[in-house]
Structure 1
C-alpha cells in the first residue's frame, strides 16, 4: 500500500512537472516574447511593426488579434493626422498646421536674413455663387481655384486655408517681383478656365502681398497682406463698375 502511495505521489510530481514544462515552453515562453514585442512597439512608437505569430492555439490567435488591432490603430492614426493637418474640402494645409509650418519658415528666413513673402488671397463673388447657384456650386468654385493655384506652386511653398474663402501663401524662393508675376500667371489660368468651362460666373481672386523685411511678427505681416488684399478688392470692384458704366 505504501509503495502504491509513493508511486502515485511520484507520478503526480512527474505530471505536475511535465505540465509546468509544457506551460513554460509552449505558452509562457511565447507570451513573454509577445509581451517583449508589444513593449518594443510601445517604446519605439512604430505601429508598422507586427508580432510574429505561430500556431493555431489561443496564443497564436491572441498574437494575430493584436496585429489586427495594430493595423486598425495605424489607419486611425493616419486619418487623425490627415484631419489635424489638411483642410477637408480643398486638401491643402488647414489653418492650424499651415500657420505652424508658415511660422517655422518665417523664423528661419528672419534668422538667416532671407526673402520671405506673404500673400493673402480672397475668392471674389463666393456669396453671389452660393446664393444664386447653391453652396455646392460655391464649394466647386473654391476647389477649382485652389487646384489652379496649386499647379503654379512648388512643394516648398506654404499654401493654407485661412478660413472660408480666404487663403494664405508663404514664399521663401521668390522676390516681390517674381510673386507678382506668379499671380499674373494664376489670373491668366483662371480666365482660361472660365473660357473653357463657360460657366455663368467667373473664377477670380483678390490678392494682398506683404514683403517681410522689417522686424515685425508673422501676425503683423499677415494683417498687412490682409489690408492690401482689401485694397486690391476695392480697386477691382471700382474698375469693374467703371467698365459697366462705360458699356451702358
Structure 2
C-alpha cells in the first residue's frame, strides 16, 4: 500500500514537471513569434509579417465586399533629426510617432513599419469618412507633441488609398501600397512648395 502511494506521488511530480516544461516552451514560442513578426524598436508589425496580414485583409475585403483603406505615412525630416540630435533622438521620434498612431487607430486597424521612416496603416472594413476622423485624432496628437517639444517639430506626410468593391480592376497588394505611396508623395511635394 505504501509502495502505491509513492508511485502516485512520483507520477504526480513528473506530470507537474512536464506541465511546467510545456508552459516554458509555449512562452518561448510566443516570444520567438513576437520577435519574428514585430519591429523591435517601434512594437508594430515588421514589413514581412505586416504584408502577410495585409494580404489576408485585402483578399477578405475582396470576398466580403467591404472597403479597405491604406495610409502610407512618412516621417518628415527624420534624417535631419538624426544628423542634428543623434540617432537616439531619431529613434525616439519614430517611437513617438508609432505611439501616436497606435493610440489613435481602432482595435481592428494595424500598423506596419515598411522601413526607415515609412509606415503603412491598414484600416480594414471601413470608409474614408471613418478614416478621416481617425486621421484628425492623429493630427491633434501631433500638434500636442509639437506644443511640448521645443527641440523640433514633428511632421508627417501621408497618402490614403481606398479599395472599394466597385473598383472592378484587378489589384494586388503592391498596387494598393503604390497608390497610397503616390498620394503621400503628392502631399510631401505640396509641403515642400511652401
Question: So what's the TM-score if we normalise by structure 1?
Answer: 0.68
| C-alpha distance in structure 2 between counterparts of 1:78 and 1:224, whole Å | 35
CA contact (8 A) 2:66 2:125 kept: no
1:180 to partner: Cα distance: 3.1
Question: Which stretches in structure 2 are left out of the alignment for 5+ residues?
Answer: none
Whether 1:176 and 2:138 are equivalent positions in the alignment is: no
**1:142 equivalent in alignment to 2:97:** no
Matched with 1:49 is none
Please say if residues 61 and 125 of structure 2, whose CA atoms lie closer than 8 Å, have aligned partners that are also in contact: no
Deviations 1:70-121 (A, max 9, x none): 2331221111111122221111222222212211111111112221111101
Moved more, 184-193 or 227-236: 184-193
Match of 1:126 in 2: 78
Shift of 1:177: 3.4
**Structure 1 residues 125 and 77: alpha-carbon distance in aligned structure 2, compared to 1, 3 A threshold:** same
For the pair 1:113 / 2:65, whether they are aligned, the reply is yes
2:155 pairs, out of 204, 213, 225, with 204
CA contact under 8 A between 2:38 and 2:45: conserved in structure 1? yes
Q: Which has the higher contact order (CA 8 A, sep 6+)?
A: 2
Check if 1:79 corresponds to 2:34: no
Tell me if structure 2 keeps the 8 A contact 1:187–1:204.
no
Query: Is 2:143 the partner of 1:188?
Result: no
Equivalents in 2 of 1:176, 1:185: separation in Å?
Answer: 14
Which SS does the other structure have where 2:175 is aligned? helix
After TM superposition, give the deviation of residue 226 of structure 1 in Å.
Answer: 0.9
**Distance in 1 between residues matched to 2:118 and 2:152, nearest whole Å:** 19
CA distance in 2, matches of 1:64, 1:177: 54
Unaligned runs of 5+ in 1: 1-21, 31-52, 240-248
Count of residues in Structure 1 that have an aligned counterpart in Structure 2: 188
Shift of 1:63: 4.9
Moved more, 102-111 or 178-187: 178-187
Tell me the residue number matched to 1:221: 176
Greater share of strand residues, 1 or 2?
Answer: 2
SS at match of 2:104: coil
Pair 1:192–1:26, CA change in 2 (3 A): closer
Between Structure 1 and Structure 2, whose CA radius of gyration is higher? Answer: 1
Measure how far apart 1:179 and its partner are. 2.2
